[in-house]
Amino acid sequence: MKVLAAASKMFADRGYEAVTLRAIAEEIGYTHAVIYQHFPDKWHILAELRSETIGLLIQNFDAIAAKHPAPKERLFATSRGLIQFCTAHPQRFRNICKACEVMLIVAVPTGMSVGTMKLICVGET
């Protein structure tokens, strides 16, 4: 989706806080109203980027784990896989971290438990 690709690049170039939905829309030649039809706000775009990245990480880990049946080997191989993934896709990794940071800012003042926030950060609802 054009919106997600543009947002991911803009978050990397300008920082999440500096990017607006209007700026994303302008970047891809849409009106901001079109983006609102798909995402109610910038946070939901970031959350979708986070979900996509977690899905890719899970696929990557599953493929690595299938090749390494011994637990110790699997641990080291998936750890290397995580580092390789983050090196190959630094913006995707930053999007996950930013999503968790934004969630922490929202969760603490509202009294959400830390355990609930951690589950949401790893893609659980």
CATH number at residue 91: 1.10.357.10
Domain that holds residue 102: 2-121
pLDDT value at residue 101: 78
Domains contained in the chain, number: 1
Compare 1 and 78 and report the one with higher pLDDT.
78
Task: Read off the pLDDT of residues 6-64 as tens digits, 9 standing for 90 and up.
Answer: 999 999 889 888 999 999 999 999 998 999 999 999 989 998 998 899 899 999 999 99
Task: Residue 11: name the closest of 108, 107, 94, 97 by CA.
Answer: 94
Q: Which band of pLDDT confidence, cut at 50, 70 and 90, is reported for residue 120?
A: very low
Q: What's the distance, Cα to Cα, between the start and end of the chain in Å? A: 23
* DSSP symbol at 16: G
Task: Read off the pLDDT of residues 97-115 as tens digits, 9 standing for 90 and up.
Answer: 888 777 665 545 455 444 4
C-beta separation of 15 from 2 below 8 A: no
| Cα 100 to Cα 117: distance, rounded to the nearest angstrom | 8
Residue % of the chain over a pLDDT of 70: 82
Q: What is the dihedral of CA 31, 32, 34, 39, to 10 degrees?
A: 160
Q: Which residue has the tokens 């438990």?
A: 113
Which amino acid appears at position 73 of this protein?
A: E
